[in-house]
Structure 1
Amino acid sequence: MNWLFPLAKGGAAPASAAPPARTGLQQQRQRQVESLRAAHASIAEIQKDVEYRLPFTVNNLTININILLPPQFPQEKPVISVFPPVRHPLMDKQGVYVTGPLISNFTMHSDLGKIIQSLLDEFWKNPPVLAPSSTSFSYPFNKPAGMPPFAPQGFPFLLPYPIQETNRAMTAMPVSESVSSSYTTDKPAAPSYGLIADLPLPVPTAEAVLQVGQNGFTYKMPDVPDTFPELSELSISQLTSMNEQEEVLLEHFVTLPQLKQVISDRDELVKSIEELAKKNLLLEPSLEAKRQTVLDKYEQLTQMKAAFEKKMQRQHELSESCSPSALQARLKVAAHEAEEESDTIAEDFLEGKTEIDDFLSSFMEKRTLCHCRRAKEEKLQQAIAMHSQFHAPL
């Protein structure tokens, strides 16, 4: 089998290659990861020893806490981000990254699991508020400022942070050859954005003719023709002259039927809005009366609720005083009192303070009462014990 396991120099078989020993930094990194897993059982591992995600729900708001460990962690501070972005004293202005003392005071000897738990405790004490610019995209494309891309550690299929294209250029729309080049302007480069939802809205084209307002009202713009016959008959010099004379250009623009249609639609819309506003004003007295009725009903409901809670408390006190355990305790006390009274009668008789006839009648009465109460107490105790075997405690 020497052809399969070749010998080393000197004819001796080489020792089995031992796995490389972990450095001190790797051991500390592993301890931090183990602390994180031990403190939070529901944490999900996105990339081994690099990225972890912890879902957290507070006030019906589910927040994903993303924990990113740099290559030199724990010498470098971890990067903790949340999605969706929230408003909280521990968050940055964008509401994405945790920048409070929990992260700024992080050292090699800190406990990552306890830090995340402290973050959750702060969220519980002071619940975060969803940021207005929250989007449905999970995480930003751009990496945190000042942090190099993380190299995949043993995962060749995982790529580092994608590089932003900051010098993209927009392609100008083709312009008719009959129009002077002074009509065209250079388009600036598109800026880089961190989130897909931050990209600028597209410019309306012939296909996008429906304008949607903030209240959901839709308006169909008039169809704009591709060419204007009255302009196609003009020469380039005439078009240039028109372009230089703003009054002439505006005069021609005002005569366009499309603009007239927009102005007419606007006037009709203003008129309908005024009519609707007048109708709303007419409804104001009845709405105000109904509002006052609702307020009165709410006040009545509050009073009835307070009275109901008071009666419920009284009913609970009465039911507690009549419970089997309470009755047993009262029977025990009453039996003890009857026994003490009978002992007092016996002592008075022995001291000669009571006649024998009075002693017999009163002593027997108290003793009989004492034994009856003890018998009832024992029966009640047996009933309680039997009931507790098959049902919940009384």
Structure 2
Amino acid sequence: MPTERFTFPGHDGHDLAARLDLPDGPVLATALFAHCFTCGKDIPAARRIAARLAGMGMAVLRFDFTGLGHSGGEFENTSFTSNAADLAAAAQALAARDMAPSLLIGHSLGGAAVLRAASDIPTTRAVATIGAPFDPGHVTHNFAGALDAIERDGAGEVTLGGRKLRIGQGFVTDVAGANLAPAIGALKPALLVMHAPKDEIVGIENATRIFTAARHPKSFVTLDEADHLVTRASDAEYAADVIGAWASRYVELKRPAPPIGAPEGVTRVSEADAGGFAQDVYAGGRHHIMADEPTSYGGTDRGLTPYQLLAAGLGACTSMTIRMYARRKKWPLEHVAVDVTHDRMHAQDAPSNGSERIDRFRREIELKGPLDDDQRARLLEIADKCPVHRTIEAGAQVETVLRAEAAREPA
């Protein structure tokens, strides 16, 4: 997954540091990610969610809010309102690249910020929140012991996540007075609320209030045992998978035209996890699945194995071919099911009587409906005429070339 670093001017003109995670292939849509309070763009949850969405064909911009991480400015001079303004500035930076965001994702206070900012980003079609507070002022409990000093001196130092930060009175006043209910009620994009029932930082009742305040279309998905920071990789990847599948219903995907000589488009396979064998498989810019190996073979068992994918192709083609023939003949075929198994056998057990091992696919076909014996026999013959069956039996020519960009990379 390629990642581009760049900066853009924030709400007050300071440069904000950003990472744009890009798909290996065409960009189907663009998402803008808002991190949790004082966290930063490189928190594991943000990195993992962005990586998974990029594997699904979406570009994801994540950036450090003013005064945090590698961004310029002073954090003590920021506010909840300025965070929302930074999000609008990020959207403008993406629009300047012809990549205006259609999906906004916010984690914790970043979730509250995207709810506030959505109306200022007209290209938004969907908003997803993760562990977001309904009342942004909820964050002040993190530095309750310093509130008196902040009010007295105009700013004060607090320790959050092991880091010392200066919080300004302007932030405290602004966030305490923030009321998201009108913004949520007026929200036109679709809304997905994700929350963990056992979140000890932002209680689950916040998700209930956000969901209740919103109009349809809206959805709620539980994150089960996840913690507030979505620390576990499996929780972040699950959240990303759900967001990607949900957003595809509301976000217009820019599907590429198939290249000449490839009427079904390109099937692109790229590593989803360099430490294992998981692969993102995107077909024709429309359909996404995952391929993997079982844990017993060093994989993470997050998708079909390569031979299961091949078996699926054979089974699907068989069923489609039978249905097409029965439909043309107007036969009373009610349902088709095909079970495919794959094994390797010694060739001496096969008709060729060779000594090498060969692959064997076995199909078990179920035909439902008031068919007579002749019709069933004919449909079984038709199964052998499915194009994938013929390709497997006849063999195919595989041409392999090195892409020009890869060829220039040093070994």
Shared topology, TM-score over 0.5?
Answer: no
More strand by share: 2
More helix by share: 1
Q: Which band: TM-score by shorter chain?
A: under 0.3
Which has the bigger relative contact order, CA under 8 A and spacing at least 6?
A: 2
Larger Cα Rg: Structure 1 or Structure 2?
1
Query: TM-score scaled by structure 1?
Result: 0.19
